[in-house]
Amino acid sequence: MLRIITQVAEAKTELRRICDRTHDDQIVHKEATVREVLQAVKRQGDKALLHYTAEFDGQIFTAEQLRVSGSELDAAYQQVSKELLDAIGLARQQIEAFHRQRIPKSWVQFGEDEIVLGKRYTPVDKAGLYVPGGRASYPSTVLMNAIPAKVAGVPRIVMVTPPGQGKTINAAVLVAAQEAGVQEIYRVGGAQAIAALAYGTETIPKVDVITGPGNIYVTLAKKLVYGAVGIDSLAGPSEVLVIADAAANPVYVAADMLAQAEHDPMAAAILLTTDAGLAKKVQLEVERQLENHPRRLLTEKAIAHYGLIVVVDSLNVAAELSNEFAPEHLELEVQEPWEILEKIRHAGAIFLGNSTPEAVGDYLAGPNHTLPTSGAARYASALGVETFMKHSSLIQYSPTALQKVSNAIQILAQAEGLPSHADSVRLRTEKPTDE
Ligand SMILES: NC(=O)c1ccc[n+]([C@@H]2O[C@H](COP(=O)([O-])OP(=O)(O)OC[C@H]3O[C@@H](n4cnc5c(N)ncnc54)[C@H](O)[C@@H]3O)[C@@H](O)[C@H]2O)c1
Ligand SMILES: N[C@H](CO)Cc1c[nH]c[nH+]1
Ligand SMILES: [Zn+2]
C-alpha cells in the first residue's frame, strides 16, 4: 500500500532515496554486469552480442538474423489493425509538427571592420535509436526518437530493440519505424545493444549519438559509453510526481500514478498534496485499480519501493519538494495550475490541469516523451531535433579587425606562456621595418 507521510524532513529523505534509486549502492552489482557486457562487445563484436542475447533475452540467433529483413518489415503491416495504423499516423503527424517548429537554425552576424561571427548547425552522420522492449513494446518511443532524427536530417538512422518472444519484434514497433522512415533495425536490446552502437560490431555500425530510453541496464550502459559517443540524456525508469489540491479527482490521480508505475519495478510515483482527505482517497483508489491489473506484480513492486504520498502545508512547499526531486513528469492537478507553474524550476515535462493526463504526452501531444529521470531534469531536457545536431562556430576577421586586437591577443598569449599563439597574430599584423 502507498505510504502517506506528513513530516517535511522525512519527505525530503524519502524523496532523495527515490530520486537516487538508479545510482545508489544497490546498483553497483548491475553496473558491474554492464561494464562486463560493454567490454565483451567491444572486444568480440557480434559473438558477444549473440551470447548476451541468449543469456538475457533467451533468444538464440546467428549474426545474419540480427538485422530485421525486408520481408519481416512488410509482413508487420499485415499484423496491425487499421485503427492502430491510424493512431500511429496521428501521433506521427503531431510529433513531427511539434518538432519542426524548433529546428536549430544556422546564423551569421556581420559586425564592424568586416567581422563575421556565427553558428552553423549540422546533423550527426549516424544516429542509433534505442527502443525498449523488455516488459512492454513501445511504438510510441520509435516515433519520439526517429522523427526528431529525421527532421534534423541525419543521413543514417539505425534502430535497436530487444528481440521479443519467438524472435519476432512487435509488429507495431516495426510499422512505426517504417512510418517514421527507419528501415535499418537490429533485434538486440539491453547494455549489449548500447555497446554495439557505441563501438560497432561486424553487423551493427558504430554511431555518433545514441538516443532513447530504457531500463536500468540500458541507462547505466549509456552513461558508461558517453564520450565514445554522444547520448541524449539518462532517460531511465519512468517517474511521475503529482501536485494536487482539493480540486483534484482521486480516481484520476491514482490512474496517473499507476500509469508510470506500470512501466517498471523501478518506476516512481509520487503525490504531494495539501489535502489529507485526498491523500487517503488516492491511497485506497490505487489499491482498487490494482486489483485486476494485468501488470499487477511489477506495478505493486514499483509502488511499494518507489511510491509515496506526502501531505504538505501549502502548494509552495509542494513546489519546493518537487524542485528538489526534479521529476521526469510533473502533473499540476490544482485549481490554478498556471499560478504554481511560476514556482516550478526543474521537470522534464509539465502537465497542467485535471484534464491533462501524462499519457497525452506519452503518445501524441507532440512534445517528446524521452525525458531525463532520476534528478537529471536539473540539468538536462527532453530529446529534440537539436539532440541530433551540433554546431560549429564561425569566425572571420579582416586585416583591419585583426590589427585592432593584435596587442590584446599577444598579451593574453604571453600571459599563458604560449609564444606561438602570439606569433600567429604578430606576424600578420606587425608593420614591415624599412631597410
Ligand atoms: N524516461 C523515458 O523517457 C522513458 C520512456 C519510455 C520508457 N522508459 C523506461 O524504459 C524502460 C523499459 O524497460 P524494459 O525492461 O521494458 O525494456 P528495455 O529494452 O529497456 O530492457 C530490456 C533489456 O534489458 C536487458 N536485461 C534485462 N534483465 C537483465 C539482467 N538481469 N541483466 C542484464 N541485462 C538485462 C535485456 O537484454 C533486455 O533486452 C522502463 O524502465 C520504462 O520506465 C523511459
Ligand atoms: N511514460 C514513458 C516515459 O517515461 C513513455 C511511454 C511510452 N509509452 C507509454 N509511456
Ligand atoms: Zn508512460
Ligand 2 surroundings by CB, under 6 angstroms: 138, 140-141, 238, 260, 328, 362, 369
Residue 39 forms part of a structural domain: no
Backbone angles phi, psi at 77, to 5 degrees: -65, -30
What is the distance in A from the centroid of ligand 3 to the CA of 40?
32
What is the distance in A from the centroid of ligand 1 to the CA of 305?
18
**Residues near 403 by Cβ (< 8 Å), separated by ≥ 6?**
429
On the question of pLDDT at 393 being above 70, the answer is yes
Q: What is the CATH number of the domain that holds 22?
A: 3.40.50.1980
Same-domain status, 18 and 49: no
- Report the distance separating Cα 317 and Cα 314, nearest Å: 5
Ligand 1 surroundings by CB, under 6 angstroms: 33, 56-57, 132-136, 138, 141, 162, 189-191, 213-215, 217-218, 235-238, 263-264, 267, 328, 369-371, 373
Nearest 5°: CA angle at 412, between 411 and 418?
A: 100
Number of H helices, E strands in the chain: 17, 14
Compute CA distances 242 → 141, 298, 309, 376, whole Å: 23, 21, 9, 18
| Chain segment 134-177, per-residue pLDDT in tens | 999 999 999 999 999 999 999 999 999 999 876 789 999 999 99
Residue 328 forms part of a structural domain: yes
Residue 435: predicted pLDDT: 59
Instruction: Look up residue 229 and give its DSSP letter.
Output: B
On the question of pLDDT at 26 being above 90, the answer is no
| The domain boundary residue, chosen from 234, 261, 287 | 234
Residue with cell 509542494: 318
Give catalytic status of residue 29 as yes or no. no
Give catalytic status of residue 329 as yes or no. yes
Task: Tally the domains of the chain.
Answer: 3
Same-domain status, 226 and 248: no
- Report the distance separating Cα 299 and Cα 240, nearest Å: 14
What is the distance in A from the centroid of ligand 3 to the CA of 253?
14
Residue 425 forms part of a structural domain: yes
**Residue positions counted in the chain:** 435
Q: Which three cell numbers stand for residue 432?
A: 614591415
Residue 268 forms part of a structural domain: yes
Same-domain status, 228 and 248: no
Same-domain status, 66 and 203: yes
**Which residue positions form the known binding site for Zn(2+)?**
260, 263, 362, 421
What DSSP string runs through 104-125?
Answer: ---EEEE-GGG-EEEEEEEE-S
Q: Compute CA 149 distance to the chain's CA centroid, rounded to the nearest angstrom.
A: 13
Same-domain status, 57 and 204: yes
Residue 79: predicted pLDDT: 97
Whole domain around residue 255: which residue ranges? 4-26+237-369
Task: State whether residue 159 is helix, strand or coil.
Answer: strand
Q: What is the mean pLDDT of the chain?
A: 97
- Report the distance separating Cα 265 and Cα 263, nearest Å: 7
| Chain segment 322-354, per-residue pLDDT in tens | 999 999 999 999 999 999 999 999 999 999 999
- Report the distance separating Cα 133 and Cα 136, nearest Å: 5
* Across 176-188, average pLDDT: 98
Residue 116 forms part of a structural domain: yes
Residue type, 290: L
Whether the model pTM is above 0.90: yes
Nearest-CA residue for ligand 2 atom 6 is 362
